[in-house]
A and B are shown apart, each in its own frame.
Chain A
Amino acid sequence: MTKYIITAIIVSGCCTAFLRSLPFIAFKGERKMPVWLDKLGQILPSTIMAVLIIYCLKDVGDDFGGIGISKILAVIVVAITYKWKHNTFISIGAGTAFYMLMLYLL
């Protein structure tokens, strides 16, 4: 088990390190980046973030009256507070507190 956990973390670390250094390996010295890659670099983060949000909300349909509605409302709390204050801390705090409260109440 220990071996499995350590291997998993090392494998993940190597993959992440590889991705982070990739542009530096590929564009060593004076080699220029192709335009399409540069453009993909600008737009891919928002696509990935959207997929990640779907990932977090994947179980909404399982128990809509409990976890489902709580998660959706909590996401709305985060969005509204963030639009209002633009403070990551306040929004994460408010959304999480709201979600935990909803789970407790329902």
Chain B
Amino acid sequence: MIQKKALKTAFIKSIPILCSYIFVGIAYGIMMENAGFAWYYSLFASFGVYTGAFQFVLITLMSSGASMVTIALTALLMSSRQTFYSITFLKDFKSMGKRMPYMVLTMSDETYAVNCSLEMNDDKERKDIMFWVAMFSRIYWMAGSVIGGVLGQLIPFELEGIDFCMTALFVTIFIDQWEKTDRHTPALLGIAVGIICLVIFGQGSFMLPALLIASAILIMMQRKEQAE
């Protein structure tokens, strides 16, 4: 009975994720299809990788026949934020027993945000809800990529511009993150370093240096703050 209640709460909490994941998942499936990768590859990537932003970049990487080293480095750098999400839930997940590995491997920007926002008196109930939110989200994402991949084959006309979904998603997350804090230096630093590296290194290869340089500057800034 309690499980049923947790399921229901988790579903309601996950509705914003449902809308966004199905939508963006479909866009992903269509983009994969357009790039020549069938729906089962989309499903495989959504199941095995499960990280929105990087999966989109992976399409471009695979289309251009990027080396495994480039793919691995980009994955490591782009998904590094996942590490920090895990840091937040270190204690919670550790106490979740058998569910822990799944919780660790299924964190995303959106599930992170929703699971952070849960405030329940009952700790067990909260963790049940966290588990189901994570589970539902992954299902939405996988369903979306398959629908997109199949639709991509059925729709005869070009859906030019549908890939803007990804940009829009980043902008909404960026605004969320901006509103959560008073310190905007990291966000502004990202924009500045991003643009400078784009000009210096060009469109194809500015991501890696930009992320590396920005992280290095952030670490140095912190060291300096701590020293003071």
| Interface of B, helix, strand, loop or mixed by DSSP | helix
Would B50 and A16 count as touching, CB distance under 8 A?
yes
Inter-chain contact count A-B, CB under 8 Å? 246
Tell me how many residues of B have a C-beta within 8 Å of chain A.
Answer: 92
The reply to whether B160 and A100 form a contact with Cβ atoms under 8 Å apart is yes
Which residues of B (181-209) have their CB < 8 Å from a CB of A?
181, 183-191, 193-195, 198, 203, 206-207
Decide if A12 touches B75 in the complex (CB within 8 Å). yes
Q: Verify A71–B167 contact, CB threshold 8 A.
A: yes
When distances are taken between beta carbons in the complex, the residues of chain A under 8 Å from B164 are 71, 74, 95-96, 99-100
The answer to whether B58 and A8 have CB atoms under 8 Å apart is: yes
Q: Which of A22, A51, A103 contacts B190 (CB 8 A)?
A: A51
Q: Are B190 and A48 in contact (CB under 8 A)?
A: yes
Q: Which of B16, B84, B88, B174 contacts A50 (CB 8 A)?
A: B174
How far does the Cβ of B142 sit from chain A's closest Cβ, in whole Å?
13
Decide: A59 and B90 in contact? CB cutoff 8 A. Answer: no
Is A53 within 8 A of B174, CB to CB?
yes
A11 near B167: Cβ-Cβ < 8 Å: no
Q: Within 8 Å CB of B87, what residues of A? A: 23, 33, 37-38, 41
Q: A96 touches which one: B50, B162, B185, B210 (CB < 8 A)? A: B162
Measured CA separation A45–B109 after assembly (Å): 9
Name the contact of B170 in the complex, choosing from A12, A56, A103 (C-beta under 8 A). A56
Q: Which residues of B contact A12 (CB under 8 A)?
A: 45, 48-49, 54-55, 58, 71-72, 75
Give the distance to chain B from A15, nearest Cβ to Cβ, in Å: 4
